[in-house]
């Protein structure tokens, strides 16, 4: 295989899978089992090719536009692995319209291709096209719900998404007008040379569009409604795959920025997101809305790494993004099983889960502990690295705010644990996990426990990946 094609292998595998799914979906009598099976094989192949090219470096096709290195391939490995997890829990889709179940994997595959291109993009127009490709699949995925609230959620998501895309494109035009190029290398040089006001305004607008993907305050308004209204498995995709892709492109941009005002902006976004996300989550009884507001808070924790403006901070962001994605998939293994009737899981519906399904309760417990940052899960290690990066830059008060926010989060996380283990099940039915549910859940559970006990391999890869940025 030519080297350029090998370097582009993960994307080509998913594109090929998407083409096969499309052909199968327009057959005379399409079967959802066939299309989801093809998507699963394509995602497994993408995992394999990401591993094969993990330590490769190069610029396939056109130098300066698309870069393959450890940073991009590590994130592609995470994206394809998380996609595998989402597909495994998507074999039963009661909350998706029957007519759309055959086509659904097509949108997930194409969206993931966009995110893979996003983390390799080193040119602004390539970045924008990749961003749009990843977004269109998500818009459709949210709209697949068979419930009326799904249409409302999709409308809000598309509205906010289109607005953020327009803001990003306007910012890109200002940057091009100032720098005279769409190359990120030349943009980095211009930022180092001096702070042209028009250039900084353009960068700010581009960042505003990108931060929409992370659901940071004040770009978070779409998240609670989209999480509540979208099918459970599609929310799992947004919370894991989409989030990791956003982490990657924001890291590439953050590495180019000068300190000072940039760090101040990241700190302000971090504090606002941690405060609003955790306080809003306290009042939620719908578990998907709770996780949505929790996601806002976790985006705030990620900002600690960006605000450190250091390679250690970016490595912590990469590590935490991978762990957060795995814990989100783990949580939605259980939430999807609880919501097989098409309804959203609530604090009431999760009551007595330990007696109804000990394995599901264990998976949810580990997911909650990871999100809360409780040892021995990797969520604790991830927060430790983020806090350490901030402390190295002397941001002591920011770490205190983050620690206080994490303490508030413990309350609503432990309410879920209390409902699972201490509340009586009453007459609620048993929760059945399919083989593929169990496979995805146990893989994610093993991942967060292993790297909670022995984080060195992933941390070393994250450090080497972060060193390539900038």
What pLDDT is attached to residue 187?
A: 83
C-alpha 26/C-alpha 139 separation (Å) is 21
- The answer to whether residue 223 sits within a structural domain is no
What pLDDT is attached to residue 428?
A: 79
- The H or E element that residue 206 is part of is helix 197-214
Give the total number of structural domains in the chain.
Answer: 1
Residue with tokens 């094989």: 41
Cis bond leading into 465, ω under 30°?
A: no
3-class DSSP state of 347: coil
- The answer to whether residue 73 sits within a structural domain is no
What pLDDT is attached to residue 94?
A: 67
What pLDDT is attached to residue 74?
A: 94
- The answer to whether residue 282 sits within a structural domain is yes
- The answer to whether residue 25 sits within a structural domain is no
- The answer to whether residue 276 sits within a structural domain is yes
Nearest Cα to Cα of residue 38 among 82, 100, 102, 94: 102
Buried (b) or exposed (e) across 380-414, using 16+ Cβ within 10 A?
bbbbbbbbbbbeebebeebbebbeebbebbeebbe
286 is in which domain, residue-wise?
255-470
Q: Are 161 and 190 in contact (CB under 8 A)?
A: no
Q: What is the CA radius of gyration of the chain?
A: 21
Burial class (CB in 10 A: 0-12, 13-18, 19+), 421: middle
Per-residue pLDDT of the chain (470 residues; tens, 9 = 90+): 566 677 888 999 999 999 998 888 887 666 777 888 899 999 999 999 999 988 878 766 667 788 888 999 999 999 999 999 999 998 777 667 766 778 888 999 999 999 999 998 888 898 999 999 998 888 888 888 777 777 778 888 888 888 888 998 999 999 888 888 888 888 878 877 766 788 888 888 888 888 888 888 888 888 888 888 888 888 999 999 999 999 998 998 888 877 667 788 899 999 999 999 999 999 898 899 999 999 999 999 999 999 988 899 999 999 999 999 999 999 999 998 887 767 788 888 898 889 888 999 999 999 999 999 998 999 999 999 999 999 998 889 999 999 999 999 999 999 999 999 998 877 778 888 889 999 999 999 999 999 999 999 999 999 999 998 86
- The answer to whether residue 427 sits within a structural domain is yes
- The answer to whether residue 335 sits within a structural domain is yes
- The answer to whether residue 356 sits within a structural domain is yes
What pLDDT is attached to residue 191?
A: 77
According to DSSP, residue 123 is labeled B
Q: Report the 10 Å Cβ neighbour count for 30.
A: 16
What pLDDT is attached to residue 75?
A: 95
Q: Please tell me whether the overall predicted TM-score, pTM, comes out greater than 0.95 for this model.
A: no
What pLDDT is attached to residue 60?
A: 62
C-alpha 359/C-alpha 365 separation (Å) is 10
What pLDDT is attached to residue 259?
A: 67
Residue with tokens 């919370």: 239
What pLDDT is attached to residue 219?
A: 84
User: Among the residues of 282-433, which ranges form H helices?
Assistant: 287-307, 311-338, 353-356, 358-372, 378-392, 396-421
């Amino acid at each position: 295989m030519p080297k350029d094609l090998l370097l582009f292998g993960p994307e080509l595998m998913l594109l090929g899978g998407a083409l096969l799914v499309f052909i199968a979906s327009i057959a005379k009598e399409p079967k959802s089992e066939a299309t989801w099976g093809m998507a699963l094989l394509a995602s497994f192949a993408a995992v394999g090719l990401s591993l094969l090219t993990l330590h490769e470096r190069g610029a396939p096709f056109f130098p300066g536009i698309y870069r393959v290195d450890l940073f991009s391939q590590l994130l592609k490995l995470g994206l394809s692995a998380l996609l595998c997890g989402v597909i495994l829990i998507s074999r039963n889709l009661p909350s998706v319209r029957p007519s759309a179940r055959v086509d659904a994997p097509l949108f997930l595959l194409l969206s993931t291709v966009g995110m893979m291109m996003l983390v390799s993009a080193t040119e602004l127009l390539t970045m924008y096209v990749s961003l749009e490709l990843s977004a269109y699949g998500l818009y459709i995925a949210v709209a697949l719900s068979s419930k009326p609230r799904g249409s409302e959620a999709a409308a809000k998501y598309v509205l906010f998404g289109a607005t953020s895309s327009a803001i990003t494109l306007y910012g890109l035009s200002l940057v091009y007008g100032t720098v005279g190029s769409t190359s990120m290398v030349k943009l980095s040089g211009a930022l180092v040379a001096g702070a042209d006001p028009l250039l900084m305004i353009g960068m700010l607008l581009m960042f505003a569009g990108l931060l929409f993907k992370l659901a940071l305050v004040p770009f978070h308004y779409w998240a609670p409604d989209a999480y509540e209204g979208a099918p459970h498995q599609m929310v799992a995709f947004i919370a894991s795959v989409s989030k990791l892709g956003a982490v990657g492109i924001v890291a590439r941009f953050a590495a180019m920025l000068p300190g000072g005002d940039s760090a101040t902006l990241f700190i302000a976004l971090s504090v606002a997101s941690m405060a609003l996300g955790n306080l809003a989550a306290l009042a939620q009884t719908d578990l998907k809305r709770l996780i949505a507001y929790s996601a806002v808070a976790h985006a705030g924790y990620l900002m600690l790494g960006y605000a450190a403006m250091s390679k250690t901070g970016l490595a912590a962001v990469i590590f935490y993004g991978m762990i957060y994605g795995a814990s989100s998939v783990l949580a939605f293994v259980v939430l999807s099983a609880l919501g097989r009737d098409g309804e959203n899981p609530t604090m009431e519906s999760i009551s007595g889960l330990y007696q109804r399904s000990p394995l599901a309760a264990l998976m949810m417990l580990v997911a909650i502990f990871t999100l809360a940052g409780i040892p021995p899960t990797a969520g604790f290690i991830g927060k430790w690295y983020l806090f350490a990066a901030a402390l190295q830059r002397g941001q002591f008060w920011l770490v205190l705010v983050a620690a206080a926010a994490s303490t508030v989060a413990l309350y609503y996380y432990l309410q879920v644990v209390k409902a699972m283990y201490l509340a009586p099940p009453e007459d609620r039915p048993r929760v059945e996990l399919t083989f593929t549910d169990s496979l995805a859940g146990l893989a994610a559970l093993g991942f967060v426990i292993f790297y909670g006990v022995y984080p060195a391999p992933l941390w070393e890869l994250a450090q080497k990946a972060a060193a390539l940025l900038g």
